[in-house]
Structure 1
Amino acid sequence: MRPPGRRGTGEWRSLDRDLERVSVLEAGAIHLSRPLLGVGVSLAFIVVSMLVTLLVTGREPGTMVIVAASALAAYMALNIGANDVANNMGPAVGSGALPMAGAITLAVICESAGALLAGHEVVETLSRGILDFDLVSASPAFAPAMIAALLGAALWVNVATWIGAPVSTTQAVIGGMIGAAAAAGGLAALSWQTLGLVALGWVLSPLLGALVAGALLAVITWRILDREDKIGAAQRWLPRLIGLMAGAFSAYLMLKLPLHLGRSFAPGLIALVGLGLGLLSWRLSIPAVARQAQGLENRRGAMKVLFRLPLVISAALLSFAHGANDVANAVGPLAALVEWQRSGVASEFVSLPFWVLLIGAAGISVGLMMFGPRLIRMVGQEITRLNPVRAFCIALSAAMTVILASAFGLPVSSTHIAIGGVFGVGFFREWFTQPRNPDPARRFPVQERRRRRLVRRSHFMTILGAWLVTLPCAGLISALVFTLVRLLSGVA
Structure 2
Amino acid sequence: MVGTETLLLFVVASAASLFMAWSIGAGSSGSTPFAPAVGANAISVMRAGLIVGVLGFLGAVLQGANVTEAVGTELIIGEPLTAGAAIVGLLTAAALVAVGVFAGYPIATSFTVTGAVVGVGLAMGGAPAWAKYIEIVTLWTLIPFVGGGVAFGIARLLRGDRFHEDYLIALLGGVIGVLVVTIDFALLGPGDGSGSIAGSLGPSLPLPPVGGVATGVVVVTLLAGVAATAVLWAALRQDRATGQRRFLLVLGGLVAFSAGGSQVGLAIGPLVPLLGSGINIPLWAVLVGGGFGLLVGSWTGAPRMIKAISQDYSSLGPRRSIAALIPSFAIAQVAVAFGIPVSFNEIIVSAIVGSGYAAGNAGVSRGKMGYTVLAWIASLVGSFVIGYGVYSGVRLAL
| Coarse TM-score class (shorter-chain normalised) | 0.7 to 0.9
- Corresponding residue number in structure 1 for 2:123: 183
User: Using the alignment, how far apart are the partners of 2:392 and 2:307 within structure 1?
Assistant: 38
TM-score (norm 2): 0.83
CA RMSD between the two structures: 3.3
More displaced stretch, 147-156 vs 193-202: 193-202
Aligned twin of 1:391: 321
Find the aligned partners of 1:250 and 1:411 in 2 and give their Cα distance.
23
Q: Is 1:241 aligned to residue 172 of structure 2?
A: yes
Query: Are positions 1:216 and 2:154 aligned together?
Result: yes
User: What is the alpha-carbon distance in structure 1 between the residues aligned to residue 330 and residue 62 of structure 2?
Assistant: 24
Whether 1:70 and 2:14 are equivalent positions in the alignment is yes
Check if 1:97 corresponds to 2:42. yes
Alignment equivalent of 1:373, drawn from 277, 300, 303? 303
What CA distance in whole angstroms lies between the structure 1 residues aligned with 2:301 and 2:321?
22
Question: One-letter code of the match for 1:153?
Answer: A
Q: Which residue among 149, 166, 169 is the counterpart of 2:109?
A: 169
Q: Contact 1:251 / 1:271 at 8 angstroms: preserved in 2?
A: no
C-alpha distance in 1 between matches for 2:14 and 2:73: 22
Aligned to 1:364: 294
Contact residue 383 and residue 456 of structure 1 kept, 8 A: yes
How far apart, CA to CA, are the structure 2 residues paired with 1:156 and 1:410? 21
The number of aligned residues is: 377
Once the two structures are superposed, residues 213-271 of structure 1 have per-residue CA deviations (whole angstroms, 9 ceiling, x without a partner) of 010001111248xx8xxxxx34433322211222234445669x99xx787879x7787
**Alpha-carbon distance change, 171 to 251 in structure 1, aligned in 2, over 3 angstroms:** farther
The residue type paired with residue 129 of structure 2 is S
1:280 aligns with 2:227: yes
Find the aligned partners of 1:153 and 1:247 in 2 and give their Cα distance.
Answer: 36
Change in 2 beyond 3 A, CA 1:415/1:104 = same
> C-alpha offsets along residues 378-408 of structure 1, whole Å, 9 cap, x if unaligned?
1111111011211111111213445788999
Which blocks of at least 5 consecutive residues in structure 1 are unaligned? 1-56, 228-232, 294-302, 344-349, 432-452
Q: CA deviation at 1:142?
A: 2.5
Describe the superposition over 1:105-164 as per-residue Cα deviations: whole angstroms up to 9, x where unpaired: 2112211222245543994164674421xx213xxx723222222112112212222332
* Change in CA separation of 1:366 and 1:207 when aligned onto 2, cut-off 3 Å: same
Deviation string 1:418-450 (CA, Å, 9 cap, x unpaired) is 11001111122125xxxxxxxxxxxxxxxxxxx
Structure 2: distance between partners of 1:149 and 1:407: 25
Q: In the TM superposition, what are the counterparts of 1:194-343 in structure 2 within 5 Å?
A: 194-223=132-161, 233-251=164-182, 274-290=221-237, 292-293=238-239, 303-342=240-279
Is the Cα contact below 8 Å between 2:72 and 2:270 reproduced in 1? no
Q: Is the 8 A contact 1:144 1:485 kept in 2?
A: no
One-letter amino acid of the counterpart of residue 309, structure 1: R
d(CA) in 2 for partners of 1:271, 1:336: 39
Letter matched to residue 159 of structure 1:
V
TM-superposed deviation, 1:276: 3.7
Q: Distance in 1 between matches of 2:331 and 2:71?
A: 25
Structure with bigger gyration radius = 1
Indicate the larger mover: 157-166 or 73-82.
157-166
Q: Counterparts of 1:104 and 1:95 in 2: how far apart (Å)? A: 15
Alpha-carbon shift at residue 314 of structure 1 (Å): 0.9
Q: Is the 8 A contact 1:148 1:479 kept in 2?
A: no
User: What secondary structure is seen at the aligned counterpart in 2 of 1:166?
Assistant: coil
**Percent of aligned positions with the same letter in both sequences?**
27
Query: Which runs of structure 2 are paired with 1:10-29 in the superposition (5 Å)?
Result: none
